[in-house]
């Protein structure tokens, strides 16, 4: 068995790898990476980041966004979000966006990883999973970046907040809202005691 074959044995279909990950199993990692890319075994996503596509009945499937981002950050503490998720809130937002937002503790900036665009945003706190409450707060945090009629969206948000009066929403505002977002929600939720929680 060649050294290249030994390296291949460590690869798992559908996983993303950094050059440093593969250097553990190869003393000639750059040469081996070049060979694996030429053979179509690995696909290069960006500088030092590769994916081993999973073969399916429809051809090679890319690694999941979660796997790619985890390898890129060398960290599993992040949250994948997208402005498209706001459309699930029923607030009249319908625009579609071609980027995924990555809330994390390490990297800030826009990166193209393979064919996908990721907007990395450093945040001190974010939940482990997307919730409707977090999405509502996140929408107001990012209102200036939406392609929608902002006044209309804000009016619907205010109506929704006033009707929901949810303790979970108050916690999400306190934990994840910008100062401007907290002020807006405070006015709407004041009878529910947000001004004590925020």
Domains of the chain in start order, with CATH, are 3-63 (1.10.10), 67-197 (no CATH)
Instruction: For the beta carbon of residue 57, count every other beta carbon within 10 angstroms.
Output: 5
State the Cα–Cα distance between residues 198 and 179, nearest whole angstrom: 10
What's the token pair of residue 17?
């790898």
Instruction: For the beta carbon of residue 88, count every other beta carbon within 10 angstroms.
Output: 11
State the Cα–Cα distance between residues 52 and 32, nearest whole angstrom: 14
State the Cα–Cα distance between residues 59 and 143, nearest whole angstrom: 39
Judged on CB neighbours under 10 Å (0-12, 13-18, 19+), 10 is middle
pTM value > 0.85 = no
Residue 190 has pLDDT above 80, yes or no: no
Residue 117 has pLDDT above 70, yes or no: yes
Percent of the chain with pLDDT over 70: 94
User: Pick the residue with more confidence: 56 or 66?
Assistant: 66
Which residues, 6 or more positions from 29, have their beta carbon under 8 angstroms from its beta carbon? 19, 22, 23
Residue 162 has pLDDT above 80, yes or no: no
Which is nearest to 97 in space by CA: 168, 146, 37?
146
- Average pLDDT score, the chain: 88
Mean pLDDT of 94-105: 90
Percent of the chain with pLDDT over 90: 57
Give the pLDDT of residue 113: 92
């Amino acid at each position: 068995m060649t050294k290249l074959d030994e390296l291949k044995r460590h690869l798992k279909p559908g996983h993303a790898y950094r050059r440093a990950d593969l250097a553990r199993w190869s003393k000639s990692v750059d040469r081996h990476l070049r060979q694996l890319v030429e053979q179509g075994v690995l696909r290069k996503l960006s500088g030092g980041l590769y994916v081993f596509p999973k073969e399916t009945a429809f051809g090679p499937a890319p690694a999941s966004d979660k796997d790619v981002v985890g390898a890129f950050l060398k960290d599993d503490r992040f949250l994948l979000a997208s402005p498209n998720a706001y459309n699930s809130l029923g607030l009249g937002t319908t625009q579609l966006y071609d980027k995924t937002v990555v809330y994390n503790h390490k990297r800030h900036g826009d990166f193209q990883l393979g064919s996908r665009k990721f907007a990395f945003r450093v945040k001190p706190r974010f939940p482990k999973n997307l919730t409707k409450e977090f999405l509502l707060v996140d929408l107001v945090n990012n209102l200036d970046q939406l392609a929608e009629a902002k006044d209309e969206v804000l009016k619907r948000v205010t109506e929704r907040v006033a009707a929901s009066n949810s303790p979970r929403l108050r916690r999400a505002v306190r934990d994840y809202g910008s100062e401007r977002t907290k002020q807006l929600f405070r006015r709407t939720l004041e009878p529910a005691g947000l001004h004590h929680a925020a």
